[in-house]
Amino acid sequence: MYDHVLILAYGQPSSAAEIKPFLESQIKSKELSPDRLAERTEHHQRTAGANNYAKTVQAFSEKLEKSLAAFGHMLPVYTGMRHLNPSLKDGMEKIKKKRHSRGLVLILAPFKCELTYERYQEAVDAAKQAAGLNVQYEYLKVRHNHPLFIQALADKARNTMRTLTLEQREFVHVVFTAPSIPKVMGQLCDYEKEISSTCQSVIKDVSQPKWSLCYHSREPGKEAWIDPDFTYTLSQFNKDKERHVLFVPVGAIGESVETLYDLDVDYRKKADTAGYGFMRAPAVLDHPKVLLMALDLLLEKIKG
């Protein structure tokens, strides 16, 4: 039997004081080039006050614990971030004090690749070893094609378009976004296939015929990263048929610098410069259907 649940998330700085340790942690794990430290520091400084990632994840964990209890499963739900607080180290110390021995880990990442799965497992193993903890874990992730996840994304997109008239919606081009990864890494997993599948399901739900998928947050250098980026995507638009751009972040489940800066600042500027209206659907982690999806995934394992 399982005796606890661990919600595993990436982490984001929510204040200016957290920016430096967050970026240093990213550099240490080789997820940020040292050459981009100054640039990314500026991005975080512009968005830290609006970044409620940690609070949203914590609220999600608390609601999930109550939901499990409502189904008769009195399992404590802990939260651990790969970067920043509440840290995996702190989570493991709490788990150790309670003498837990077997748990379920839910990774808050919908698309599977080394960065979103294996490195999370490695982080848990390292935290367990540091705490001297002998606990067995089974790993789950947000299921990219789960009907409730698709519905949550579609709901966010539809609600964002409600600011437009029915006539204006005919000129909306939906742009799904996800973090880019190195092409070599992408060849070893189904990351791109899973993202494409999710986008097709969401666009079918919202009934918008014009859509694209682009990737953001790629690291500079000689290594090739999956594409296209928004600059290329924008170049393919037809101004006679498209006047508004609706960004739907499918890869960022919670608000982060990728949504608050890369989309809301950088991509907005590019859309404005090209003469297109900018809209962006909020990230889905706070949507009730995402909570229900997580509950469904956990109950499936608990009930066997």
Give the model confidence (pLDDT) of 100-150 as tens digits. 999 999 999 999 999 999 999 999 999 999 999 999 999 999 999 999 999
Confidence of residue 218 (pLDDT cuts 50, 70, 90): confident
Asked if 292 and 189 sit in the same domain, the reply is no
Asked if 183 and 115 sit in the same domain, the reply is no
Rounded CA-CA distance 12/116 in Å is 15
Asked if 94 and 110 sit in the same domain, the reply is yes
Asked if 294 and 275 sit in the same domain, the reply is no
Residues 191 and 111 sit within 8 Å (Cβ to Cβ): yes
Give the count of domains, the chain.
2
CATH number of the domain where residue 265 is located? 3.40.50.1400
Asked if 183 and 241 sit in the same domain, the reply is yes
Asked if 139 and 195 sit in the same domain, the reply is no
pLDDT for the residue 48: 77
Asked if 62 and 164 sit in the same domain, the reply is no
Residues 244 and 163 sit within 8 Å (Cβ to Cβ): no
Domain, as residue range, for 53: 4-143+287-303
pLDDT for the residue 247: 98
Strand order in the sheet with 244-249: 211-216, 172-179, 244-249, 277-280
Residues 149 and 290 sit within 8 Å (Cβ to Cβ): yes
Tokens of 294: 């997580």
Q: What percent of the chain has pLDDT over 70?
A: 100
DSSP 8-state class, residue 220: P
Rounded CA-CA distance 149/251 in Å is 12
Asked if 254 and 299 sit in the same domain, the reply is no
Asked if 129 and 185 sit in the same domain, the reply is no
Asked if 139 and 214 sit in the same domain, the reply is no
Rounded CA-CA distance 86/76 in Å is 15
Asked if 115 and 10 sit in the same domain, the reply is yes
Confidence of residue 219 (pLDDT cuts 50, 70, 90): confident
Asked if 262 and 292 sit in the same domain, the reply is no
Q: Among the listed ranges 30-34, 144-148, 186-190, which one has the minimum average pLDDT value?
A: 30-34
CA dihedral 198, 139, 13, 79 (to 10 degrees): 130
**CA-based angle 211:252:243, to the nearest 5?**
30
Digit-coded pLDDT (tens) for 148-179: 999 999 999 999 999 899 999 999 999 999 99
Average pLDDT, rounded, for the chain: 95
Q: Is the pLDDT of residue 8 over 90?
A: yes
pLDDT for the residue 304: 81
Rounded CA-CA distance 46/207 in Å is 35
Confidence of residue 222 (pLDDT cuts 50, 70, 90): confident
